[in-house]
Every structure is written in C-alpha cells, then in structure tokens.
C-alpha cells in the first residue's frame, strides 16, 4: 500500500510539474513555472513540412536557432488546397474538406518533439487570411464554388479585391464549420511519437486563430469571429493560451482591425501586432538615407502605441512579425544586409529597453523569417513545388526577407540581444 501511495504521489507531482511548464499569463506578462518569460524568436512556418520531407535539415535548423538563443517559433499547423492551388505551400494538410494529410501531421509531431528536446515553445497558427497556405479563401471556394480572385503575383491581381473576398469567410456558416472541424483535428490530436495529447504538451505555447486576419467589410464580423473561435478552442483545451495573429493598428484604412477591440475577449490571453516598414511604404531600400530614420521613428512610435493598449488591458503583447529586405532590395543570398542588421538591433533594443524599465507587457518578438540553409531556385523567383522552403512564403519573391545561416552578422546580433534580454529579465 505504501509503495502504491508513493507511486501515486510521484505521478501527481509529475503532472503538476508538467502543468507548470505551460506558458501562462500572470499580472499582464508571460510566466513559466511562475518565472517571467520573454523571448526573441522567429517565424518558422514551414517546420511541419520539414518534419516530413527533410528531418535532417529540420534538426540542423533547430540546432542553429538554439545556438543563437531562439527558443520560440511561430509555425503553421494547417494548410488548405489541392496540388494545383497556385502560390500555396505544398503539399497541404487539408486537400479537400475533411481530408487530412496524416504524414504532414506526423511532421508536426516530429517538429514538436525536436522542439521539446531544446526547450523551445511553439506558437501554432491554425488559419490564414492570405492565400499562401490556402486559408480563408480556400474555405470559401470549398463552400461557394467558383474561383479565388488571387492577389499579386496573379496576373491583374488586386489586394483589395482579394481581401474583400477573404473577409466573407467570417459570415460563411459552412466554412466556419469546416474550420472548426479542422481545429478539432489538430487540438484534439495525440502525438504519434510520444503518445502525448497536444492538449497536455507544454511545448505548444499557444493556439493562434489565423495569420493576419483582416476585415475589408468593416463591420463587426472580425471581432465576433475572434470571440466565437477563441471560446471554441478554449472549450477543447484549457491548458493553452489563445491569441489572434492580428497585425494590430495597421496604417491601412481598409484592414478593418482594431488592436484593442480585437483582443478584449477573456478567451484571448495575449495580443499580437506586426510591423512592416517596407510593405507599408515607410521605408525605401533604394533610398535608405532619405527614408530609414523616419521609418524607424514610426516603428518605435507604433510599438509604444501598442504597449500603451497592452498596459491598459493588462495583457501581454508580442511583436510577432517584422522584417526588412536585404540591401537595395537585392534577393541574392550573397548580398549584404547592413540595413537589416541595424534595423533588427533597433527593434530588439526596444524590447530589451521595455523589459529593463519594467514595462513587462511587451514580452517578446519573432523576426520574419528564418530561411536557414534553404535557398531560392533563383533570386527573386516565385516558389514552385520542389523548391526549398525558406522564410518567404510561396506568393512572395523568394529571398526577400529570409535570414540565412550564412548571415553571420545578423545571427550575432540575434544571439547578443537574446543574452541581453535574458539578463535584464532576471
């Protein structure tokens, strides 16, 4: 009897310890085991695919990231579309409604196991406003038929036309049911390698509703969808945090996002925002002298604007996407990245300074994006099946924002600021 009691106590102690390893929110900041958690991480959206098709490369990439202090990865867990879907990561997890690629999901299992070995945390994204992983537009096509009005690089593609089409996802009852079925497929999954339920795996930091959900329709559809979907995920899994994937207060009057309103729900544990100084027209890589300083000033102001809302709601905020092109917008992997290095150091310093001042709602950032040893088939080309997966998604010109393992100065900066962050966060 005594032996059985001892075993039971040991079992419950292990369970409590496992629970403590989950990232939680306490007093407006992240904690693990009751200790503050801050990070400089990266976007590694294709990790699941490497987990199937190139496990040796995946292991090498994770080892490289670990060496520079990167312990937080934002990854995709779902993608949609058949093999003929253009400008979309291939193969996809869901090739047709309810038809899931088990091998890709096993790739996600492998990714999580390898991350756990390195004490990394995963932000797991479940959908996408943009079509490079299928996302909203694919769900609409499945339920409404017709064709998707793809944005550039499609011939005559228009971002606004596409955005309006994708925004109808929120009002599409059938599409929402398909998405909730997909959510259940992932959230309720048991890892095929460890036999541990995803719900009980602290390697997963959070579930993310979608990448950059916008609402060109400009009604309350987006907020309603955020609140409903977050509540649905929480009904399946009480262990993990949920967040939006929002860009925050973008300078576009058409995005339909509201950083505060989009994160009010008690089922949304923390807030996300993105900064794209080049995409938003603040920075011109061909006119660095005339645009860089003003772009940095705007980026800093943008960060402070979001910190203020985080403090107001007493919720952590994460800058989960930011980047800048290689010098002179050159897409070759041998081009210089002096401006990028300067920009990265500036953004990382904003995080370190905020933590140093005790402004702990600003808890982390993920640069966009890790390319590692992957390379485009040709600089400035569009990705096609069989090409290396890198940081630039399939609909963007390859080599634009990717950080390669040969960008030694960039890696040195990332490692240096991870050390600084760790020191000031103690």
Could you give the CA distance from residue 201 to residue 203 in angstroms, rounded to a whole number?
Answer: 5
Three-state DSSP state, 220: coil
Sequence-distant (≥ 6) Cβ neighbours of residue 60 within 8 angstroms: 372, 373
User: pLDDT at position 218, please?
Assistant: 83
DSSP single-letter state for residue 169: G
CB 363 within 8 A of CB 317: yes
Burial 264-285 (b: 16+ CB within 10 A, else e): ebebbbbbbbbbbbbebebbeb
Could you give the CA distance from residue 351 to residue 417 in angstroms, rounded to a whole number?
Answer: 9
Nearest to 402 by CA among 42, 73, 63: 42
How are beta strands 370-372 and 72-76 bridged, if at all?
Answer: unpaired
> Residue 167: is it exposed, middle or buried by C-beta count within 10 angstroms (0-12/13-18/19+)?
buried
Sign of CA dihedral 57, 58, 61, 67: negative
Nearest to 127 by CA among 18, 222, 200, 260: 222
Sequence-distant (≥ 6) Cβ neighbours of residue 291 within 8 angstroms: 282, 283, 284
Helix (H) or strand (E) holding 42: strand 39-43
> Residue 172: is it exposed, middle or buried by C-beta count within 10 angstroms (0-12/13-18/19+)?
middle
CB 81 within 8 A of CB 136: no
Residue spans of the domains in the chain: they are 2-424
Locate 373 and state its tokens: 């040893």
User: pLDDT at position 7, please?
Assistant: 46
Locate 53 and state its tokens: 């098709």
CB 199 within 8 A of CB 232: no
Could you give the CA distance from residue 396 to residue 43 in angstroms, rounded to a whole number?
Answer: 15
Locate 69 and state its tokens: 């202090």
Q: What is the DSSP string of 94-123?
A: EEETTEE-HHHHHHHHHHHHHHHHTT-EEE
Q: Detail the DSSP E strand segments found in 68-216.
A: 72-76, 94-96, 99-100, 121-125, 204-208
How are beta strands 99-100 and 94-96 bridged, if at all?
Answer: antiparallel
Start-to-end CA distance of the chain, whole Å, equals 44
Assign domain 2-424 to a CATH class.
Answer: alpha beta
- List per-residue pLDDT tens for the chain, 426 residues long: 455 544 444 444 444 444 579 999 999 999 999 999 999 999 999 999 999 999 999 999 999 999 999 999 999 999 999 999 999 999 999 999 999 999 999 999 999 999 999 999 999 999 999 999 999 999 999 999 999 999 999 999 999 999 999 999 999 999 999 999 999 999 999 999 999 999 999 999 999 999 999 999 989 999 999 999 999 999 999 999 999 999 999 998 889 999 999 999 999 999 999 999 999 999 999 999 999 999 999 999 999 999 999 999 999 999 999 999 999 999 999 999 999 999 999 999 999 999 999 887 999 999 999 999 999 999 999 999 999 999 999 999 999 999 999 999 999 999 999 999 999 987
Side-chain-facing half-sphere of 223: CA atoms under 13 Å? 14
Sequence-distant (≥ 6) Cβ neighbours of residue 62 within 8 angstroms: 114, 115, 118, 120
User: pLDDT at position 12, please?
Assistant: 46
Locate 114 and state its tokens: 């390898």
Sequence-distant (≥ 6) Cβ neighbours of residue 131 within 8 angstroms: 87, 88, 137, 138, 148, 150, 151, 162, 166, 395
**Pseudo-torsion of CA 111, 115, 116, 118, nearest 10°?**
150
User: pLDDT at position 301, please?
Assistant: 98
């Amino acid at each position: 009897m005594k032996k059985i009691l001892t075993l039971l106590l040991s079992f419950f102690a292990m369970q409590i310890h496992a629970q403590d390893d989950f990232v939680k929110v306490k007093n407006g900041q992240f904690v693990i085991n009751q200790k503050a958690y801050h990070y400089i991480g990266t976007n590694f959206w294709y990790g699941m695919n490497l987990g199937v098709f190139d496990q040796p490369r995946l292991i090498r990439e994770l080892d490289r990231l670990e060496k520079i202090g990167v312990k937080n990865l934002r990854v995709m867990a779902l993608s949609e579309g058949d093999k003929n879907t253009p400008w979309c990561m291939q193969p996809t997890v869901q090739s047709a409604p309810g038809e899931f690629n088990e091998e890709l999901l096993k790739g996600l299992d492998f990714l999580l196991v390898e991350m756990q070995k390195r004490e990394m945390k995963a932000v797991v994204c479940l959908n996408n406003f943009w079509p490079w992983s299928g996302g909203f537009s694919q769900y609409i096509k499945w339920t409404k038929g017709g064709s998707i009005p793809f944005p550039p690089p499609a011939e005559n593609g228009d971002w606004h036309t596409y955005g309006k089409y994708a925004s109808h996802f929120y009002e599409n009852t059938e599409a929402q049911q398909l998405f909730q079925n997909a959510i259940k497929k992932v959230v309720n999954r048991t890892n095929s390698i460890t036999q541990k339920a995803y719900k009980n795996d602290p390697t997963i930091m959070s579930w993310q509703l979608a990448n950059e959900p916008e609402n060109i329709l400009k009604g309350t559809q987006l907020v309603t969808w955020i609140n409903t979907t977050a509540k649905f995920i929480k009904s399946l899994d009480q262990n993990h945090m949920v967040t939006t994937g929002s860009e925050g207060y973008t300078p576009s009057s058409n995005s339909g996002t509201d950083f505060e309103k989009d994160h009010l729900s008690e089922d949304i544990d923390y807030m996300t925002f993105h900064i794209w100084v080049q995409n938003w027209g603040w920075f011109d890589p061909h006119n660095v002298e005339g645009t860089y300083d003003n772009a940095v000033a705007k980026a800093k102001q943008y960060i402070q604007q979001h910190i203020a809302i985080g403090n107001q709601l007493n919720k952590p905020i994460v800058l989960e996407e930011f980047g800048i092109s290689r010098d002179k917008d050159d897409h070759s992997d041998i081009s210089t990245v002096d401006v990028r290095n300067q920009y990265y150091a500036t953004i990382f310093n904003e995080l370190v300074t905020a933590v140093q001042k005790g402004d702990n709602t600003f808890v982390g950032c993920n640069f966009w994006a890790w390319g590692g040893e992957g390379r485009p088939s040709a600089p400035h080309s569009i990705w096609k099946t069989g090409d290396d997966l890198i940081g630039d998604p399939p609909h963007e010109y390859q080599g634009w924002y990717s950080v390669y393992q040969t960008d030694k100065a960039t890696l040195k900066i990332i490692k240096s600021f991870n050390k600084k962050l760790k020191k000031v966060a103690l």
